[in-house]
Amino acid sequence: MLTRITAISILLISLLFAAGEAVGQKRNTAKRKPTAVKAQQPTPAPSPASEVAENTEEPVPVKRNDRPKGSPSAETPSEKPQTKATAVYEYLFFQPNFALSRVLVRHNDLGKGTVEFLRSDQDEPVTEPIEISETALARINASLAELRFLESSESYQHEKDFSHLGTVRITYSKGERSRTAEFNWTDNQFAKSLAGEYRKVANQFIWQFDMTLARENQPLESPKLIARLDTFLKRNEISDPVQMLPLLNELANDERLPLIARNHTLRLIEQIKKKAK
C-alpha cells in the first residue's frame, strides 16, 4: 500500500514538472518576434573596383622604373641639344723662382677644362676642373680675334728679354689650324690683355681650391685667404667675381670659419653685387 502511494506521488511530481517546462517554452516562443527572411539575390561577379573597395588595407604604392607606354613625351624627355667643342685653348706660365712656379690652363670653347699648378715647395702639381664663365670667355675670344691669332705670324715678344718676370706660352687650336705664341713681355695690348685674362682665371680657381682646402682642414687660415681675395678684387685680378658668389655665400654662413672671415666675406659679397649692377 505504501509503495503504491509513493509511486503515485512520484508520477504526479513528474507530470507537474513536465507541465511547468511546457509553459516556460510557450512564454519564450511568444516573446520572440518573427524574422523576415530576405530573398537571396544572385551574387554579381566581382569587379576590380569592388575588390579594391572590399580590401580594408590601403594599397602600398609600387615604384615603377618603366615609363608608361603610348606617351611619346614620357618616353623621350626633351633635352637641350649640347654644343660640341670645336677649339682648344692652352695657357702656360712658368718661372721656377716664383712661389707659384708653373700654371697651365686648358679648356675648350665652352669654357670647360682644367687648371694645373705647381708651387715651389711641392713635388707634384695639382690639377683642378674649371669652367670659365661666358663673360670671361668672351673677353678671351675678343683678344684672339683682334690678334687674328691663327692667321698671324707676328711675334709679341719685346725686343728686350724679361724672362725673370716669367714666360707666357699661348696655344690656340681650331679644326686643323693651330698656333703657339711665347713671350715674357709685350707691347701688344691685345696679347697683354689675353695673358692678363688667363692670369685672372688662374687666380680665381687656384684661390677657390686653397679656400676649399682651408675650409675643410684649416679654418683658421680663412681670414688670410679672404684678405687675399679682397686684394685680388681691388686690383681687378679675378676673372669673374659674380661667378664666385655662390661659394662666397656658403663661406659667409659656414660656422666653422672664424667670425672675422665670415664678416669680411659678407662685405665682399656686397661689393661684388654693387659693382655688378
Q: Tell me the per-residue pLDDT of 144-158, one tens digit each, with 9 for 90 and over.
A: 999 999 999 999 999
Q: Dihedral (C-alpha) 235, 236, 239, 245: value to the nearest 10 degrees?
A: 90
Q: Which one has a higher pLDDT value, 64 or 266?
A: 266
What is the rounded distance in angstroms from the CA atom of residue 222 to the CA atom of residue 228? 10
Residue 15's pLDDT is 62
Compute CA distances 96 → 100, 103, 123, whole Å.
Answer: 8, 11, 13
The residue count of the chain comes to 277
Give the pLDDT band of residue 84 (cuts 50, 70, 90). confident
Give the chain's mean pLDDT. 83
Could you report the per-residue pLDDT of 172-191, keeping only the tens digit for each? 999 999 999 999 999 999 99
Higher pLDDT among residues 185 and 11, named by residue: 185
Least confident of 19-23, 51-55, 79-83, 246-250: 51-55
User: Which H/E stretch holds residue 217?
Assistant: helix 189-217
- What mean pLDDT comes out for the span 249-272? 98
B/e letters for 183-219, b = 16+ CB within 10 Å, e = fewer, are bbbbebebbbebbebbbbbbbbbbbbbbbeebbeeee
pLDDT for 90 equals 99
**pLDDT given at position 42:** 47
Asked if 161 and 184 touch (Cβ cutoff 8 Å), the reply is: yes
Within 8 A by CB and 6+ apart from 113, the residues are: 89, 105, 106, 107, 129, 130, 131, 132
Cα 272 from chain centroid (whole Å): 24
Entry pTM: 0.70
CA distances from 125 to 117, 128, 163, 215, 258 (A): 5, 10, 22, 21, 30
Residue entry with cell 706660365: 93
CA–CA gap between residue 107 and residue 74 (Å, rounded): 36
Asked whether the predicted pLDDT for residue 65 surpasses 90, the reply is no
For residue range 94-113, list pLDDT tens digits in order: 999 999 999 999 999 999 99
Q: For 58, list phi and psi in degrees, rounded to 5.
A: -70, 135
229 or 56, which is more confident: 229
* Other beta carbons within 10 Å of 114: 13
Residue 9 has a pLDDT of: 63
Predicted confidence at residue 67, as pLDDT, reads 41
CA atoms of 44 and 47, how far apart (whole Å)? 9
Could you give phi then psi for residue 25, rounded to 5 degrees?
-65, -35
pLDDT of 64 higher than 70: no
- 229 vs 2, higher pLDDT: 229
d(CA 249, CA 39) in angstroms, rounded, equals: 78
The CB density around residue 247, as the number of other CB atoms within 10 Å, is 15
- Inter-CA distances, 227 with 46, 201, 232, 237, Å: 77, 18, 9, 14
Starting at the earlier edge strand, list the strands of the sheet with 87-94.
126-131, 112-119, 100-108, 87-94, 167-174, 177-183
Furthest CA-CA distance within the chain: 166
Positive or negative CA dihedral for 130, 136, 138, 142? negative
* 257 pLDDT more than 60: yes
